[in-house]
């Protein structure tokens, strides 16, 4: 099978034209020559004849470039630059859209149009270098058919073959040198050594510099090493005529000529759609789990870390992300969980994204994405591997009849997890063993048996890996720069060739290799069009990692004829993640915001300029462009629909609601629809500002009235409560509840999938399916101090807790899942406490009262207020629009009501379970009847503590001689008022 390359795809043509256009009509057909120093031949003096070298020449100097740069930018809907910063150009192309094809074809067309013949392709790694070599081989026939038999003369720079550099300098045809930045980025490198006999006692760098090469920099963010990095110096040492940097994640940008970012790629259908199958872990909180999410240093503030821990909540411990500073204790951050005792945050380094975790007697330095204390890690990894294989088999059932081979890619936490290198040769690591076990189990399922009709399942042959260590042990010996071995292991040698060099052969159904494992060697630069599943086993934490990892599978798939398949439902990448899909989407959005340096959800000329919209009769969607974008944005600024930072305002919300968003008259109808839709999306997440706040004031005349003073004198009396129970009562009740509890659940993972919707206003999700839970291993760690934890959480003496545990005969449950057992026991004790404390509780008056000053002026959102005439405040604040709002509106108009009040939040009745705040106090207009009401939508579904507090409220108001009403509507309150 050979890949079929499509000629002049619109997005690729635009990227090629951007590089060609920056030169304008300058230098057509011209070349520069220079004298080549003669060589010394053993036993002879210098040769008499002189050689001639050939280099690139360009008539453009300084600001001469700027008009061409601006014209290219304008054509590509980019804001034109106002000053020339050097012939340093960025072509931004999303992973999977064909940037290697683009720059190889650009080389040919630059030669044909301008006569340039010397090019250096600089790459950050051997993996990318191998990919470039392979791409040149794959496209050779295609380009020859397009350009009258033209061929690129390419070679890989090899410090042992410096004579090839001389040939590069003197040859007249198109010369392409491919070089890894590591081979030339140190000052003492042989590349800069002038004592080279093969080069006439000149350094290789001098020969290259004299040719004024055009540099093609692949993944510049990994090549340059920052603004002052060694890589950037190495690029400058080659004295380039111009430098074109191709990347999906630009960093040091001087002039951007073309941008096809993630949003464009998804909107134009140039890459696979992404689905995330995310893991939600349940009942796996038995360890002091810590995951470092991020470290940030804000100006004027101490560094802080975003960490994920298992935090204690009312319903039990749950994973929670919290901010923490140096010196914070994890026991405090976790809500007092004793598992975290002795763990503290040490030094935080925002630059390196690291955090010190202070342990008893030890210090652990954690990098971004790293975890500590995860007792489900191995089991979760096994579950993720099994889930990936299951997705793979389902994809194969769909793809194989279409002639499409399916591949899956795993990124492992460390090389040793998959492959262990020994003196006797590589052997399988634990994850390789897990893979083969899960593969055999799934292959035996009836639904997948049709995949193995002609070829029986072979778990060992189905997977293979490539890691950077392989250059020392399993790489073919003829690649001397890449290998220091003799390549004895022929099996691993063949695996390397399939993954790195023989992509077409890898896509042959007859080749059993389908599952690829790597650590980081395949993360940047490598890809294969038929990767349909990517599983990152705890490896998506570092900056750009999530997007780069996904990028390995974004390229559109090909069938066995080498043709791209854009069919709906086929071009789909599934990412198997160790977090739920919503968290994955949030973290991907954060990465995109950091990389693009453009916050989502804001309007700008740039965002508007790249807005696509369909036009009837056109094959490709149109783009709004800079000119129209400026007009739209200026109109929005003038109408104050956006602020100075591009954030939409409430005025924009009102304009959207009224379908009156101001737009220039010059906009085409289709463009008007697209811009209006963008405005709607931008306002969808707009939060109300303080302009909607209303001041709620006291109604002094009503508060001074006899009716209200009489109501308040009766309702506001304070009380104290009395309890009568014994420890034995509490123990017996707790034992009864604990024995009725279900068995504690074991740790398990549930998979939920969703499609990622990537747009300029954010990364959203479109929910898919939820799979059945899978057990991920029983508890194997050291048993925590259950007795102390329960005593601390219940405020009971250890002796009482111990009696409950012993008498319940449920201690065996703790062995399976200590954390879940603690939660069940805590719940049983809480229920028992509620029963013994609230059944039979009595109240008595203290002689004190709540003050009328509880009715204080306050501000609240207008949507939460009801204007009333019969209350002590001008408005009533309601917590529910379906229950409390209609009650307030009805009581204010009902004839039987004289005055009523929503009791203030500080009107708190003491109960054994905490404070209780009732809802309403009401006085009848024609009698001395007063009542207090609690309003709920359904009293049969209350929480245990809420039900118990209401029971205490009944006892409190009984002591005051006031009727207490539980009501779901105003009619029930009025009925009690009239009957009373």
Residue 959 and residue 886: Cα distance in Å, rounded?
30
Closest CA to 537 of 406, 429, 388: 388
In a domain, 765, yes or no: no
Pair (620, 646) in one structural domain? yes
Pair (888, 930) in one structural domain? yes
What one-character DSSP code corresponds to residue 857?
Answer: -
Pair (30, 149) in one structural domain? yes
Q: Half-sphere exposure of residue 874, counting CA atoms within 13 Å on the CB side?
A: 10
CATH number of residue 848's parent domain: 3.40.1350
Pair (709, 672) in one structural domain? no
* 946 SS3 class: helix
In a domain, 29, yes or no: yes
In this structure, what token pair is assigned to residue 376?
A: 């489900």
In a domain, 831, yes or no: no
* CA 820 and chain centroid, separation: 30
* 410 SS3 class: strand
Give just the sign of the alpha carbon dihedral 336, 340, 344, 350.
negative
Residue after which a domain boundary falls, among 372, 392, 416: 372
Which residues does the chain have with pLDDT short of 70?
Answer: 26-31, 37-51, 227, 282-287, 314-316, 374-378, 468-496, 521, 523-525, 538-545, 685-692, 744-747, 772, 775-781, 980
The answer to whether 464 touches 517, Cβ cutoff 8 Å, is yes
> For the purposes of burial, counting CB atoms within 10 Å of the CB of 378, is it exposed (0-12), middle (13-18) or buried (19 or more)?
middle
CA dihedral 454, 458, 462, 463 (to 10 degrees): 180
Across the strands, what pairs with 770? 752
Residue after which a domain boundary falls, among 221, 241, 260: 260
The answer to whether 212 touches 239, Cβ cutoff 8 Å, is yes
In a domain, 79, yes or no: yes
CA dihedral 325, 328, 331, 336 (to 10 degrees): -90
Pair (643, 707) in one structural domain? no
Residue 276 and residue 313: Cα distance in Å, rounded?
28
pLDDT of residue 283: 64
The answer to whether 256 touches 250, Cβ cutoff 8 Å, is yes
Element counts in the chain: helices (H) and strands (E)? 32, 41
The answer to whether 543 touches 368, Cβ cutoff 8 Å, is yes
The answer to whether 345 touches 325, Cβ cutoff 8 Å, is yes
Number of folded domains in the chain? Answer: 4
* 721 SS3 class: strand
**Domain housing 121:** 10-40+50-260
Pair (936, 954) in one structural domain? yes
pLDDT of residue 13: 94
Helix (H) or strand (E) holding 531: strand 531-536
Pair (340, 299) in one structural domain? yes
pTM score of the predicted model: 0.66
Residue 552 and residue 480: Cα distance in Å, rounded?
27
CATH number of residue 141's parent domain: 3.40.50.300
pLDDT of residue 476: 36
In a domain, 798, yes or no: no
Residue 577 and residue 580: Cα distance in Å, rounded?
7
The length of the chain in residues reads 980
Tens digits of per-residue pLDDT, 712-739?
Answer: 999 999 999 998 888 898 999 999 989 8
The answer to whether 795 touches 805, Cβ cutoff 8 Å, is no
In a domain, 883, yes or no: yes
Residue 779 and residue 53: Cα distance in Å, rounded?
72
137: CB partners within 8 A, 6+ apart: none
Pair (181, 298) in one structural domain? no
Closest CA to 847 of 960, 724, 712: 960
Phi, psi of 805, deg, nearest 5 = -65, -45
Pair (328, 182) in one structural domain? no
Cβ–Cβ contacts within 10 Å for residue 778, how many?
A: 13
In a domain, 422, yes or no: no
Pair (228, 314) in one structural domain? no
In a domain, 20, yes or no: yes
Residue after which a domain boundary falls, among 344, 372, 400: 372
The answer to whether 881 touches 741, Cβ cutoff 8 Å, is no
Q: How far is CA 675 from CA 78, 680, 762, in A?
A: 17, 9, 16
Pair (109, 24) in one structural domain? yes
Residue 450 and residue 695: Cα distance in Å, rounded?
71
Residue 182 and residue 160: Cα distance in Å, rounded?
15
Pair (88, 123) in one structural domain? yes
């Amino acid at each position: 099978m050979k890949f079929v390359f499509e000629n002049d795809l619109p997005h690729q043509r635009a990227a090629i034209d951007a590089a060609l256009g920056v030169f304008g009509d300058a230098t057509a057909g011209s070349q520069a020559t220079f004298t080549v120093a003669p060589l010394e031949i053993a036993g002879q003096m210098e040769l008499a004849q002189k050689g001639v070298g050939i280099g690139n020449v360009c008539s453009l100097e300084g600001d001469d470039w700027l008009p061409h740069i601006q014209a290219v930018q304008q054509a590509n809907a980019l804001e034109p630059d106002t000053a020339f910063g050097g012939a340093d150009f960025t072509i931004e192309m999303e992973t999977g859209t064909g940037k290697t094809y683009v720059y190889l074809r650009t080389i040919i067309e630059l030669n044909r149009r301008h006569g340039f013949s010397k090019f250096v392709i600089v790459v950050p790694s051997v993996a990318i270098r191998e990919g470039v070599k392979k791409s040149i081989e794959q496209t050779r026939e295609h380009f020859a058919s397009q350009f009258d038999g033209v061929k690129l003369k390419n070679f890989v720079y090899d410090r042992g073959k410096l004579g090839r550099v001389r040939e590069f300098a003197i040859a007249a045809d198109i010369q392409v040198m491919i070089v890894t930045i590591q081979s030339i980025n140190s000052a003492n490198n042989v590349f800069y050594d002038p004592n080279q006999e093969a080069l006439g006692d000149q350094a290789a760098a001098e020969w290259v510099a004299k040719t004024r090469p055009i540099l093609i920099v692949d993944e510049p963010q990994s090549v340059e090493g920052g603004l002052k990095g060694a890589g950037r110096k190495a690029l400058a040492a080659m004295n380039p005529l111009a430098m074109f940097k191709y990347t999906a994640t630009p960093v040091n940008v001087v002039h951007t000529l073309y941008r096809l970012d993630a949003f464009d790629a998804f909107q134009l259908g140039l890459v696979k759609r992404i689905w995330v199958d995310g893991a939600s872990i349940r009942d796996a909180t038995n360890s002091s789990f810590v995951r470092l999410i991020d470290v940030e240093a804000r100006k004027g503030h101490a560094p802080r870390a975003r960490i994920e821990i298992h935090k204690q909540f009312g319903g039990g411990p749950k994973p929670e992300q919290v901010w923490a500073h140096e010196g914070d204790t994890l026991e405090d951050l976790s809500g007092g969980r004793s598992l975290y005792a002795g763990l503290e945050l040490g030094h935080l380094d925002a630059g390196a994204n690291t955090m010190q975790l202070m342990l008893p007697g030890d210090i652990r330095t954690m990098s971004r994405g790293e975890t500590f204390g995860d007792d489900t890690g191995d089991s979760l990894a096994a579950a993720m591997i099994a889930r990936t294989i299951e997705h793979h088999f389902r994809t194969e059932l769909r793809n194989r009849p279409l002639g499409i081979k399916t591949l899956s890619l795993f990124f492992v936490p460390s090389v040793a997890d998959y492959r262990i290198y020994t003196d006797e040769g590589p052997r399988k690591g634990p994850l390789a063993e897990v893979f083969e076990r899960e593969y055999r189990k799934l292959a035996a399922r009836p639904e997948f048996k049709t995949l193995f009709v002609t070829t029986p399942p072979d778990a060992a042959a189905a997977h293979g890996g490539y890691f950077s260590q392989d250059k020392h042990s399993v790489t073919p010996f003829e690649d001397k720069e890449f290998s220091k071995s003799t390549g004895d292991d022929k099996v691993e040698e063949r695996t390397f060739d399939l993954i790195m060099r023989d992509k077409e052969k890898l896509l042959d159904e007859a080749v059993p290799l389908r599952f690829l494992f790597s650590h980081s060697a395949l993360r940047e630069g490598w890809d294969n069009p038929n990767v349909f599943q990517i599983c990152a086993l705890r490896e998506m934490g570092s900056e750009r990692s999530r997007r780069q990892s996904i990028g390995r599978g974004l390229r559109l798939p090909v069938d066995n004829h080498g043709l791209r398949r854009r069919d709906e439902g086929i071009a789909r990448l599934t990412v198997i993640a160790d977090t739920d899909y919503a968290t994955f989407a949030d973290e991907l959005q954060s990465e995109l915001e950091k990389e693009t340096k453009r916050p989502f959800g804001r309007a700008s000329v740039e965002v508007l300029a790249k807005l696509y919209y369909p036009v009837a009769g056109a094959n490709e969607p149109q783009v709004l462009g800079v000119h129209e974008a400026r007009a739209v944005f200026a109109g929005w600024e003038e109408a104050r629909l956006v602020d100075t930072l591009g954030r939409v305002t409430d005025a924009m919300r009102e304009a959207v609601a009224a379908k009156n968003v101001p737009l220039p008259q010059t906009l085409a109808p289709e463009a008007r629809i697209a811009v209006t839709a963008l405005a709607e999306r931008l306002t969808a997440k707009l939060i109300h500002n303080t302009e909607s706040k209303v001041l709620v004031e006291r109604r002094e005349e009503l508060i001074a009235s006899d009716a209200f003073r009489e109501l308040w004198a009766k309702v506001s009396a304070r009380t104290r409560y009395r309890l009568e129970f014994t420890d034995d009562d509490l123990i017996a009740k707790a034992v009864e509840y604990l024995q009725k509890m279900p068995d504690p659940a074991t740790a398990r993972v549930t998979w939920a999938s969703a499609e990622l919707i990537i747009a300029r206003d954010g990364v959203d999700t479109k929910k898919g399916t939820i799979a059945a839970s899978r057990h991920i291993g029983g508890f194997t760690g050291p048993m925590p101090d259950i007795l102390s934890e329960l005593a601390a959480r219940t405020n009971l003496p250890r002796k009482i807790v111990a009696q409950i545990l012993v008498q319940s005969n449920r201690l065996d449950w703790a062995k399976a899942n200590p954390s879940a057992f603690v939660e069940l026991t805590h719940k049983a004790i809480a229920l028992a406490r509620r029963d013994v404390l609230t059944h039979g509780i009595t109240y008595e008056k203290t002689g004190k009262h709540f003050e009328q000053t509880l009715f204080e002026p306050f501000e609240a959102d207008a949507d939460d207020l009801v204007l009333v005439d019969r209350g002590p405040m001008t408005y009533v604040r309601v917590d529910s629009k379906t229950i409390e709002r209609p009650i307030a509106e009805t009581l204010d108009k009902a004839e039987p009501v004289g005055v009523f009040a929503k009791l203030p939040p500080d009107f708190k009745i003491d109960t054994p379970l905490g404070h209780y705040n009732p809802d309403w106090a009401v006085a009848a207009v024609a009698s001395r009847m007063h009542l207090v009401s609690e309003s709920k939508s359904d009293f049969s579904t209350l929480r245990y503590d809420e039900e118990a507090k209401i029971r205490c409220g009944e006892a409190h108001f009984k002591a005051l001689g006031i009727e207490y009403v539980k009501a779901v509507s105003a009619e029930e309150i009025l009925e009690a008022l009239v009957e009373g």
